[in-house]
Chains A and B, each alone.
Chain A
Amino acid sequence: MNFQLRPALVAFFALSALTGLAYPLGVTGLAGALFPHRAQGSLIRRNGQVIGSEWIGQSFTAPRDFWGRPSVTVDTQGRPLPYNGAGSGGSNLAPSNPDLRKAVLDRITTLRTADPEATGPVPVDLVTASGSGLDPHISPASALFQAHRVALARGLDEARVRGLVAAHVEGPQWGVLGEPRVNVLKLNLALDDQFGANNQKSR
């Protein structure tokens, strides 16, 4: 097939240049011009510093913050590092794996310990690990489940916290796409902005 070697080489290099350089660089240029904020990762800044991205969840563990979904991402040595934005991934636990049931039970226990008065059923999304380990959202039900704890820890009226949650609920797009959700990072930032980042338990 000697006679096909030249066309093959030319086709390969021409298509590589077009689809491997011109195309991605063209998209980069145009996207940067049209949607600069989105193209760079929809970053959120406070006082001139980047504190995160609206799409990438962060690890919140203090009682005064809303907690996101469990994340099982790990660092480069394989040690747990929740919400590792440089190494996405899920648990890959099978539904039949006893470890899954145990992990879910542990998370339920943690939530109940953090707020013994929250006795209702825990929404499933709050105790199961997300696929990316970076899920920025929880369900409105999961946010309301934590409202009592957050209000208590911040010394706020629970109704005001629930009101803030309600204001942060995004419905399904076009009414049918996806699920109703609350962005955890944005919600916590709104809490800090409205009620102060350093308010303490006032009891």
Chain B
Amino acid sequence: MSHAWSQNLLYLALLLSLAYPLGTHMAKVLEDGRTLLHPILRPLERGIYRLMGIHEDDEMGWKAYAWSITLIKLLGLAAVFLLMKTQAALPLNPERQANVASGLSFNTDVSFITNTNWQAYGGEATLSYLTQMLGLTVQNFISAATGIAVLAALVRGITRRSAAGLGNAWVDLVRSTLYILLPLSFALALFLVSQGVIQNLSAYLHTAGGQVLAMGPAASQVAIKMLGTNGGGFFGANAAHPFENSSPLSNFVQMLSILLIPAALCVTFGHMVKDRRQGWALLAAMTVMFVGALAVCTQAEVKGNPALDGLGMTQVASLDQPGGNMEGKELRFGPGGSALWATATTAASNGSVNAMHDSFTPLGGLVPLWLMQLGEVVFGGVGSGLYGMLMFALVAVFVGGLMVGRTPEYLGKKVEAFEMKMASIAILLPCAAVLIGTAISVLVPAAVASVSNPGPHGFSQILYAWSSASNNNGSAFAGLNTNTPFYNNGLAVAMLLGRFGVIWPVLALAGSLVKKKHTPEGLGTLPTHTPLFVGVLIGVVLLVGALTFIPALALGPIAEHLTLRSIR
């Protein structure tokens, strides 16, 4: 018996208990409340608004809100591209990394502004420290703050009555960064250094024996990469690299920080709609799905790879060895610490990896694949997970309304044709991008040539790439060579669709909800805080995921699982 199961239990207990205080703090930040950080940071915040020439209480309609978000993203796109194309001539480049090729720059750039953080690049072999800091770290913050801002706007759309404004995008961005992301990242980065994660500006080190050790400001980027559900590694091997994730404790804390803000935002939601049970219900639905996925993945990885049976080797765990499927895994984490990470990173839109998903057992790899395809609503990305889940909640009340033949409502707002259209677009657009992208790839010889593993697993590699990009995850079955024109550009389009194709309909929906009057609860109202509703919500999520993706999954991981014992 490995320690995997007790580690899983401790993880869930800590995650859920930390969600409450952080969720309360975030609600204060988003609702103009004072926090403990205000005496220090408030003057800085006001200074920024003065420079911007805005007033904090300027309200924005949904279009202005959406344009503001899009605008700052476009600036980010330009800045990161420029950094990558000129890094050779800029400071903080002790390894003299060359300017990055345009295709790779564009792909990396898009992947960071969309919170995907797909790694077609290998950090230590491609990027200068300045590019990592001023390019990628900044986008890690802004894209996470964007997620929180859009969520806040949606919640205001639900709570405000007969209004027009959804809040101010700039204020939401600045406050999320200053009062939530920066302090948490700072504390986490220092903790990680204490565990062995490096943080310096030194040149790469050449040891007496001739080994070259990559250096750099890793901890500061790793902290926000985890907290902001970004996931783009400082090093090529991401969190499997010991300088990025050194000890079992650093591993555990990084895993906690993946789901910390997404889980806490459910509590924030309960505060903001003045009915905490609403937040608990969403959190319960997420937790139930997470536990199921985690159990399957852990079991598959701890059990090991049947294709390696009969070679005179043991995969059985004992007191002095982890056993299990160890290809592509680090010993200090073992199959348990790797399966938990894989489940958390794909439940959220994080996409960092501490083990190579490509080498996971078929069923162990199916879990991350499917969690992404569900739209990453099981906790999900910072902000994006909860607004994604709220889209499913609207569909769930709609389905409930159909059953009793009554106009559905959610938290006192009538859900009508326009809202359902927007929710459907937000849910189905990423799904369509996954399936269409995969379908095109298997027909294009240049795309098939990137596959590195034979048989059904080759198909899984392609399916994984599109699932990851379209849902802004960023993890990969990394054997697939995606640094090609086809994938660099195709996946970039999928990432943009998956981010902006969701943010715009969500904000449009918020803009429509905010205008509506409050409808008092009646006899026919489906209460949305009960176990019954949690069940309906889980049913809707799983049904959409199942109907859309089971055929594709059958061709990939399921087919591979069935053939595994015949590999000789």
Using a CB–CB distance below 8 Å, which chain A residues touch chain B? 1, 4-12, 14-16, 18-21, 23-24, 26-28, 30-32, 34-35, 38-43, 46, 49-58, 69, 76, 83-98, 100-101, 104-105, 108, 112, 121-125, 127-142, 144, 169, 172-181
Contacts and interface: CB of A to CB of B under 8 A. Distances in A.
B323 interface: yes
A24 B133 contact: yes
A31 B189 contact: yes
A144 B320 contact: yes
Contacts of A19: 137-138, 140-142, 177, 181-182, 224
Contacts of A98: 454, 567-568
Given A20-B133, A125-B322, A130-B329, A87 B124 contact: yes
Interface string B309-341: 001111100111111111111111110111000
A130 B353 CA distance: 13
A8 B193 CA distance: 34
Contacts of A43: 205
A28 B201 CA distance: 8
Given A87-B125, A101-B311, A16 B138 contact: yes
A178 B64 contact: no
B64 A1 contact: yes
B512 to A, nearest CB: 21
B21 interface: no
A4 B124 contact: no
B523 interface: no
A104 B314 CA distance: 12
B212 interface: yes
A27 to B, nearest CB: 4
A10 B333 contact: no
A132 B242 contact: yes
Nearest to A165: B320
Contact of A1 (B2, B71, B332): B71
A84 B122 CA distance: 13
A49 to B, nearest CB: 4
Query: Which of B54, B140, B332, B454 has most A Cβ within 10 Å?
Result: B332
A26 B186 contact: yes
Interface of B: 2-3, 6-7, 10, 48, 51-54, 64, 67-68, 71-72, 75-76, 79, 122, 124-125, 133-135, 137-138, 140-142, 145, 170, 173-174, 177-178, 181-182, 185-186, 189-190, 193-202, 204-205, 207-209, 211-215, 217, 219-221, 223-224, 235-237, 240-243, 246-249, 251-252, 304-305, 307-308, 311-315, 318-334, 336-338, 353-356, 358-362, 452-457, 460, 477-479, 560, 563-564, 567-568
A15 B3 contact: no
A103 B181 CA distance: 44
Nearest to A19: B141
A57 B145 CA distance: 37
Contacts of A87: 122, 124-125, 236
Contacts of B48: 10-11, 14
Nearest to A58: B211
A40 B211 contact: no
A88 B237 contact: yes
A172 B248 contact: yes
28 contacts: A4-B68, A4-B71, A9-B75, A10-B51, A19-B140, A20-B134, A24-B133, A24-B137, A31-B189, A41-B205, A50-B208, A55-B246, A85-B211, A87-B122, A90-B237, A92-B358, A96-B457, A96-B563, A96-B564, A97-B567, A123-B323, A128-B328, A132-B241, A135-B332, A139-B331, A142-B321, A173-B248, A174-B249
Contacts of A134: 237, 241-242
Nearest to A178: B248
Query: Which of A24, A55, A76 has most B Cβ within 10 Å?
Result: A24
Contacts of B202: 40
Contacts of A92: 328, 356, 358-359, 452-453, 477-479
